[in-house]
Structure 1
């Protein structure tokens, strides 16, 4: 293979003082937007050209592309939403680049396509985002996501006629759509219109809840709730089944929120704060008249369920389901029962509970895996949920709450022999002795070490649970191993596990991930030079940080859409929302810790680094691509050994959601071919 010559990146003289430290930032100009700065656009073009030359030389690329195309050539379904005897759900066939929205009238009715986004753009980069049918199922409000952005434009569809109404709501972002019970309009969350319409650089201040009355211009929309004293907080909405209460969650991120309600039957729609602080989690799972059933982490690191009686002027939580040794991940009130999904060592157990808190048995799931997304109402015995595992595609089940039985409602047929896949959960010790679980997925009866993809996230209380990923199956078919580490910073063991990887404790997450790599090699699962690591977003930060700390441990690193400059992350778009997990670089108590692991600032010259393929997208307005650009430029500027440090920049794509199927196939074919080459995975055709 010919030597890779990285493009030279212009350096500029930028030095800033932070708490007595002089910090160099020679590639700050790469923070500029490529649409307005031709120098950044030229840099991207040069980098992509070098990256594509290398990728085209890899023998396994076409094999992975073919297999990934076949792997994704099956139907995928969302959990149906039942309104007025009609079932609404998304379906994506193997030929679709984007999911379509489907209507089924009656339990055994014919399916009808309501929304097909494939005609919205020539490259299929525009996607259907959030959607919600009215209570009678006659109208549907839906969000349009253009080119991967987080911004949404909301439109309204007449379900019976297929006519799109003239209503158009813009500047919605980070929101749900919630209808008024009578179908006269809907609630949503939005930001002020960005100055000059610059959506790609707009910040995230002054989020607010509005009501849009059908048939009126957006300028007439009614402000329902905002919090000028906390401008960086998000406000998300739900509604009780009976239509009486609008529920408002105000959150800075990281699983903590205030709670307010609006009585929609009262004049003036005055918001009533039930919880003002942002220190715990409060999530309404159902209601019975004035009584709310609420999942909370108040006085319960692994969560509990309480009731709040709104007839009381100052309602206090009344516990009905106490904290358990297992983590209460989610719950829903369906058919007169609370269906509570618990995590037991990152695997789901669903328990039935009566509204007074009395245990009522366990739902026997189809296997060991993940169950959730329970959809139903408090009085309807018909509910739906999904189940999946590493070797089980996402399957939708219809559940009869009254008789405690379920049946398959939608199950995909996949182009892989999943009976040949083995899933194992192991535990290993981290640097400080903490026991950490890890899932290992590989071919059944595999013998000897094999090139391994190690995946992690470790932040914001997000748990890495067993779920089917066809991308991983394509790697395993070739004889590779996939390992998913449940490192600290996630929510696998509740708030304590999250806190152990948050703020000044974030090094624990990195230590856990490094220890996972050492464990895989020590146990003979992975060969000495056969470990690739992957992570996206906060996981991209993880990959960048551990690569700097232990470059000798990894053969290849795949950081995707990563947060790479920890001293400036809060200055771009949604970055301020992450302060609740990272800490603020403007605060001296957090600054030193952030600087100590920031991937951009801790590259270690004159050490052999693994091969690195960083990925990002030009329309990512959540983790802006400048993070990856600066990081890659800094890597390429140092003497880090003979392996390549490359960047792949996707066009008309964002942080991941809404990416078309063909772009997804292309991305992962490149990632796996790169990882296979540098870990020694032998690629062959799959019969």
Structure 2
């Protein structure tokens, strides 16, 4: 890299917050709201911050100004912005895909706010821009959420998100001329776009909350509609959901041959029902499985045969086969059976590709439709693999490979011969040979062995003085696998350590690992995270004064709960877009769907007591010294509403005993995270890195 590291030798480090000052925080309106659960009164003094009221808006503006004033005093903040901008500025090209007479691919020249979709005419070989999301809005804050073509490739529909909102609009094009051919559909949420022939498509949405309640109103009855081209959205036909078959989450998709319309229906983020309609023969939907005790999805069809990917009787997943005539679970037969390792499935070129996760590292095997092993795919190293998907007729497939010290590289793969070749290798200013990525196993409080990846620059001394970010998630069956980030590259280049434990609640070891971090076992997640921090400190990687806790969304809860349980564990904390009020999370937008992982305060007294015992908002104690904290949220986050972060920030600012600052960093015109403009992402991460180093006592750049 062409910049100098910013860390100084140990001799010039000194205690954090060298511009120490008495913090005078903005004052939020404090009320006397009290809720009663099973005879227990619970105060909620900052309830007003849930509302989009004028006092809340004023407080938000004051918090934004306060955070910016504090961050602006960090002498090397702009230098870190420059470093991030420099390493970010490389060409990024996505894997190509064919639709009709064109081959499409996404490309970002380096610092464009959003990636641009190009296409090449397969006959004339001419290339042109198909969609440029940078022109959707002046500041690049409107992003492309999804894109779908009909089977012929002559029609396309794409959805956009404005300011990061989960509420989308769908725009319909003649894909050949690129002209809009229908009215724009509005108020669409958590939806795919499933074309049926040339006449229309299926999509999903909710009734939109009333004006002023977009960030608070519940969205709990999903509906699948069919939009026929040339008709008004108000005339769209309700296909499934609503009052007749109420479900919180509905997804509609068609089989590749368009014979079957498939509905996945769920009330939580785990467990679903599957319904299927044979469009060729007509008739009603057939329910394949009932209840929400299993996860199942139809991943392929072949005539009357249905291929289902499921965890029924297989906590680590399996691929089964059945028929449309009798698709009940009792008829399911293994195609790729369960093993001791978690299975993932993709299909392309007439084959299935099984990705096995072994201690969070991927192994890929190729099978035919009968489950016969064709080959194990030779990968370039130990890491994370994605791809191998495509149409049955396409023999050229693509996959990506990366790990914490290897930038993501795209490979072209011939499905028949098994030959791989590099398709696109990014020219990142980063040399993997200069870094170490090692996996260790540590013991949690209850004796459970937990894996962790630790990444740092070669030659790092384990003297306890290395700035370290401990990052994790721990929920919703999400697996944290090795992947490259230019932000982490800057952190490591400057002498930092980046550590990621694969704690319970994730999917790294299947359903049992996930369930071990849910409901009345949720504290296992926090204990695993705490044990990871203690391991790093005991082995000399870092110490309390040089450790930062970081996580987003459910990971924001992880950080919030950890810092209130163990305020002495780390110097810095970054709860990002977190679920922080565990007594009321299910009252907002789609929050009730998270109850499989969390349980709710209304379930029973035992569940209420358990939630209250770790809910970050309810466990900030007067007279406690909490870590230097930067709470990260966005004003348009309608998934994990910003009120979580607002209330937690107000509690911390009111009760913080010591001079460690409590910042509430609020991004304007942004949502939960997806689709943000490049400059927004760079700005946030520059603030995160500079705040962490500053609070750890780093005084100035190494000139």
TM-score of the alignment, normalized to the shorter chain, above 0.5: yes
Asked whether 1:30 is paired with 2:49, we answer yes
How far apart are residue 100 of structure 1 and its match? 1.6
Equivalent residues in 2 for 1:536-615 (5 A)?
A: 536-588=552-604, 589-615=606-632
Asked whether 1:340 is paired with 2:359, we answer no
Equivalent residues in 2 for 1:218-297 (5 A)?
A: 218-226=233-241, 228=243, 231-267=246-282, 270-297=284-311
Please say if residues 65 and 669 of structure 1, whose CA atoms lie closer than 8 Å, have aligned partners that are also in contact: yes
Partner of 1:445: 459
SS at match of 1:512: helix
Where relative contact order (Cα < 8 A, 6+ residues apart) is larger, the structure is 2
Partner of 2:658: 641
Partner of 2:221: 206
Partner of 2:199: 184
Which segment is superposed worse, 587-596 or 140-149? 587-596
CA distance, structure 2, for counterparts of residue 230 and residue 507 of structure 1: 35
Partner of 1:39: 55
1:501–1:25 CA distance, 2 compared to 1 (3 A): same
CA distance, structure 2, for counterparts of residue 304 and residue 99 of structure 1: 36
How far apart are residue 20 of structure 1 and its match? 1.6
Please say if residues 151 and 199 of structure 1, whose CA atoms lie closer than 8 Å, have aligned partners that are also in contact: no
How far apart are residue 371 of structure 1 and its match? 0.7
How far apart are residue 569 of structure 1 and its match? 0.6
1:682–1:295 CA distance, 2 compared to 1 (3 A): farther
1:289–1:511 CA distance, 2 compared to 1 (3 A): same
2:682 to 655, 665, 670: 665
Which segment is superposed worse, 377-386 or 529-538? 377-386
Which segment is superposed worse, 236-245 or 472-481? 236-245
1:202–1:11 CA distance, 2 compared to 1 (3 A): closer
Please say if residues 204 and 232 of structure 1, whose CA atoms lie closer than 8 Å, have aligned partners that are also in contact: no
Q: Deviations over 1:490-536 (max 9, x none)?
A: 00000000000001100000000000000000111113411001000
How far apart are residue 65 of structure 1 and its match? 0.6
Equivalent residues in 2 for 1:514-529 (5 A)?
A: 514-529=530-545
CA distance, structure 1, for counterparts of residue 61 and residue 98 of structure 2: 47
1:7 to 26, 30, 40: 26
Partner of 2:430: 416
1:681–1:85 CA distance, 2 compared to 1 (3 A): farther
Please say if residues 246 and 262 of structure 1, whose CA atoms lie closer than 8 Å, have aligned partners that are also in contact: yes
Partner of 1:380: 394
1:598–1:193 CA distance, 2 compared to 1 (3 A): closer
How far apart are residue 197 of structure 1 and its match? 8.1
SS at match of 1:255: coil
Q: Deviations over 1:463-497 (max 9, x none)?
A: 00011111111111110000011000000000000
Equivalent residues in 2 for 1:619-634 (5 A)?
A: 619-634=636-651
How far apart are residue 28 of structure 1 and its match? 0.6
How far apart are residue 183 of structure 1 and its match? 2.4
1:471 to 481, 484, 487: 487
CA distance, structure 1, for counterparts of residue 183 and residue 65 of structure 2: 43
Which segment is superposed worse, 404-413 or 151-160? 404-413
How far apart are residue 232 of structure 1 and its match? 4.5
Please say if residues 251 and 264 of structure 2, whose CA atoms lie closer than 8 Å, have aligned partners that are also in contact: yes
2:79 to 63, 79, 85: 63
Which segment is superposed worse, 331-340 or 561-570? 331-340
CA distance, structure 2, for counterparts of residue 198 and residue 115 of structure 1: 32
CA distance, structure 2, for counterparts of residue 639 and residue 191 of structure 1: 41
Q: Deviations over 1:552-590 (max 9, x none)?
A: 110000011111110011111111111121111111142
Which segment is superposed worse, 507-516 or 184-193? 184-193
SS at match of 2:181: strand
Please say if residues 289 and 328 of structure 2, whose CA atoms lie closer than 8 Å, have aligned partners that are also in contact: no
Please say if residues 309 and 317 of structure 2, whose CA atoms lie closer than 8 Å, have aligned partners that are also in contact: yes
How far apart are residue 317 of structure 1 and its match? 0.9
1:545–1:528 CA distance, 2 compared to 1 (3 A): closer
Which segment is superposed worse, 205-214 or 245-254? 245-254
How far apart are residue 137 of structure 1 and its match? 1.5
Please say if residues 455 and 484 of structure 1, whose CA atoms lie closer than 8 Å, have aligned partners that are also in contact: yes
Please say if residues 63 and 685 of structure 1, whose CA atoms lie closer than 8 Å, have aligned partners that are also in contact: no
Partner of 1:650: 667
1:138 to 141, 154, 172: 154
Please say if residues 436 and 487 of structure 1, whose CA atoms lie closer than 8 Å, have aligned partners that are also in contact: yes
Partner of 2:509: 493
How far apart are residue 591 of structure 1 and its match? 1.1
Please say if residues 288 and 327 of structure 2, whose CA atoms lie closer than 8 Å, have aligned partners that are also in contact: no
How far apart are residue 313 of structure 1 and its match? 6.5
How far apart are residue 683 of structure 1 and its match? 6.0
Superposed structure 1 runs of 4+ greater than 4 Å apart:
none
CA distance, structure 2, for counterparts of residue 393 and residue 112 of structure 1: 27
How far apart are residue 682 of structure 1 and its match? 6.6
Partner of 1:618: 635
CA distance, structure 2, for counterparts of residue 183 and residue 50 of structure 1: 54
CA distance, structure 2, for counterparts of residue 227 and residue 607 of structure 1: 48
Q: Deviations over 1:323-355 (max 9, x none)?
A: 111110x21232232101110100111111122
Please say if residues 618 and 650 of structure 1, whose CA atoms lie closer than 8 Å, have aligned partners that are also in contact: yes
Please say if residues 68 and 665 of structure 1, whose CA atoms lie closer than 8 Å, have aligned partners that are also in contact: yes
CA distance, structure 1, for counterparts of residue 51 and residue 198 of structure 2: 44
List gaps (5 residues or longer) in structure 2. Answer: 1-18
CA distance, structure 2, for counterparts of residue 199 and residue 638 of structure 1: 30
Which segment is superposed worse, 439-448 or 77-86? 77-86
Which segment is superposed worse, 83-92 or 123-132? 83-92
How far apart are residue 239 of structure 1 and its match? 1.9
SS at match of 2:264: strand
CA RMSD of aligned residues (A): 1.8
Q: TM-score, normalised by structure 1?
A: 0.96
SS at match of 1:320: strand
Q: Deviations over 1:10-47 (max 9, x none)?
A: 321111211121101111111111xxx11111111111
Asked whether 1:325 is paired with 2:340, we answer yes
Q: Deviations over 1:424-448 (max 9, x none)?
A: 1111000001000111111123222
Please say if residues 82 and 376 of structure 1, whose CA atoms lie closer than 8 Å, have aligned partners that are also in contact: no
Partner of 1:50: 66
CA distance, structure 1, for counterparts of residue 651 and residue 194 of structure 2: 46
How far apart are residue 407 of structure 1 and its match? 2.1
Please say if residues 607 and 639 of structure 1, whose CA atoms lie closer than 8 Å, have aligned partners that are also in contact: yes
Q: TM-score, normalised by structure 2?
A: 0.94
